Amino acid sequence: MKKIIFSVLVVLLTLSFWVNAHAAGKARVEILYMNHGPLMETLTQLKKLFSDYGDRIVVTWYDFDTKEGEEFMAKKGVRQHVPLVIWMDDQVKFRVEGKDITFAGFPTGSGPQSFQGKWTVDDLKAALDQATAKK
């Protein structure tokens, strides 16, 4: 029995190292989002944008209304009601084309005005370009 447990642990550790090594060198994008009607158009735009980067990025989605989303929010210290937040390589604030940007809320010009952030999908593309250029 001890050999079986030990063997399983060795396999899991080996797999863990392989996954981490495989993801090394890629920009890591984490998205906390609300799976609600008004945000669907933005999520579609983001998925299209992310697909343009192929294997240069690893994207993980966290639905605000799930247990995984709640755990992720706690880990990241998110306490407010926010429809969307995007992290890249554990950063939430970025310097893009001379301006400081936090990718939170709806992009400017979409969704309810009170939940609009001060960013565009083009700003996100510029930040992704910077993140992938470093890798």
CA–CA separation, 112 vs 82, rounded Å? Answer: 12
The helix (H) or strand (E) run that includes residue 126 is helix 121-133
**Cα separation of 112 and 106, whole Å?**
8
For 13-24, the pLDDT digits (tens) are 444 444 443 445
| pLDDT over threshold 80, residue 3 | no
pLDDT tops 80 at residue 123: yes
pLDDT in tens, 39-52: 999 999 999 999 99
- Least confident interval from 77-81, 82-86, 124-128: 77-81
CATH superfamily assigned to domain 25-133? Glutaredoxin (3.40.30.10)
Q: What is the pLDDT of residues 66-75, one digit of tens each?
A: 999 999 999 9
